[in-house]
Amino acid sequence: MSKQINLTLKVWRQSKGEAGRFETYEAKNIDTDASFLEMLDVVNDELTVKGVEPIAFEHDCREGICGCCGALVNGKTHGSHDRTTLCQLHMRHFEDGQELVLEPFRADAFPVLKDLIVDRSGLDEIITEGGYVAVKTGNAPEASTTPIKKEFAEAAMDAAECIGCGACVASCPNGSAMLFTSAKVSQYALLPQGHPERAKRVKAMVSKMDELGFGNCSNEYECAVACPKGIDVKNIARLNREFIKHGFKS
């Protein structure tokens, strides 16, 4: 049964080039069936009526698949709910009268653009370096020409679940993008289609990650706790192996 709750929001407000600050707003009569982003929509409607600039936040699919949304809710990326993106987080997990602190995903490589929106294009740049396979164009090949063992197919699919939301970076005490990069490297390293560019890929993606100012993984595993897609640190071990195997050959 849905009910209505009232919340107090402390929201990070910041425009580009400006120092940010927390502002306090009331979120009134929020349906517990609403998603977190729908709650923000309601607050924004009221702010607009009052002539206050609405809170900027990023979103697209609202189905947990695009990786656009995300913020720290009470200090936790995407809120604290297990394997849930912010858009899929429902207000029934909150209590009437609760205070929520909303802060953007923070990392040196994720500059704040506005309010809760950060520039995560660094992740795209890492993808550009090697997140592809070269294939002949034309018709799709016959599915059974390249047999793939079930365990490899499954592990590759698990890695491919990463939606590039950046929660791993924002939760990592080192602002490291290792979980993201490891998922992307793994997804190709596990499949025969990814093998021709294997050596080049791992070197290029790791060096881009370093160049953009993401931190060094120190095996704290906060990323895997925060990841809404359950990407496992097994991928980081695999990335390390890939790098040991291919990273030192010129």
Partner 1 sequence: MSIKTSILSSIGQKLLLATSGLIMFLLFLIPHMGGNILFLFGKDLFNSYAHHLHKLVPIVIGIEVLMLVSISVHMIMGIRVVLANRKASAKRLSQKSSKERSLAARLMPVSGGMIFIFIVKHLLDFTIAGEKAEIDMHGQTGYDVYGMVLDKFQDPVHVAFYVLFMVAVGLHLSHALQSALQTYGIYVPREGSKIKVVSTVIATLMAATFAIIPIIAFTR
Give the footprint of ligand FES on this chain (CB under 6 A). 59-62, 64-69, 85-87
Tokens linked to 118: 């950060």
Query: Residue 39 Cβ, how far from ligand SF4 at the closest point, in Å?
Result: 22
> How many residues are given for the chain?
250
Q: What is the DSSP letter of 16?
A: T
Cα 202 to Cα 52, 197, 206, distances in angstroms: 47, 9, 6
In the list ligand FES, ligand SF4, partner 1, none, the entry touching 64 (Cβ below 5 to 8 angstroms by class) is ligand FES
| C-beta separation of 55 from 116 below 8 A | yes
What mask of x and - would describe binding to ligand SF4 in positions 137 to 166, judged by CB under 6 A?
-------------------------xxxxx
User: Rule CB under 8 A: is residue 236 a binding residue for partner 1?
Assistant: yes
Residue type at position 28: K
Number of H helices, E strands in the chain: 8, 7
Site map for partner 1, 82-121, x if CB under 8 A? -------------------x-x--xxxxx-----------
| 210 is an interface residue for partner 1 by CB under 8 A | yes
Residues 180/168, Cβ–Cβ less than 8 Å: yes
d(CA 109, CA 105): 10
Considering only residues 212-241, where is the footprint of ligand SF4 by CB under 6 A? 226-229, 231
Total binding residues for partner 1 by CB under 8 A? 54
Shortest distance, position 214 Cβ to partner 1, whole Å? 6
- Both tokens of residue 7? 């919340």
**Contacted by 229, from partner 1, ligand FES, ligand SF4, none: CB < 5 to 8 Å by type:** ligand SF4
CB-wise, 3 or 245, nearer to partner 1?
A: 245
Contacts of 120 (CB under 8 A, 6+ apart): 105, 110, 164, 166
Cα 227 to chain centroid distance, Å, stands at: 7
Interface positions with ligand SF4 (CB under 6 A):
162-168, 179-180, 183, 226-229, 231
Interface positions with partner 1 (CB under 8 A):
12, 22, 72, 74-76, 101, 103, 106-110, 170-176, 178, 203-204, 206-207, 209-210, 213-222, 224-226, 232-234, 236-241, 243-244, 247-248, 250
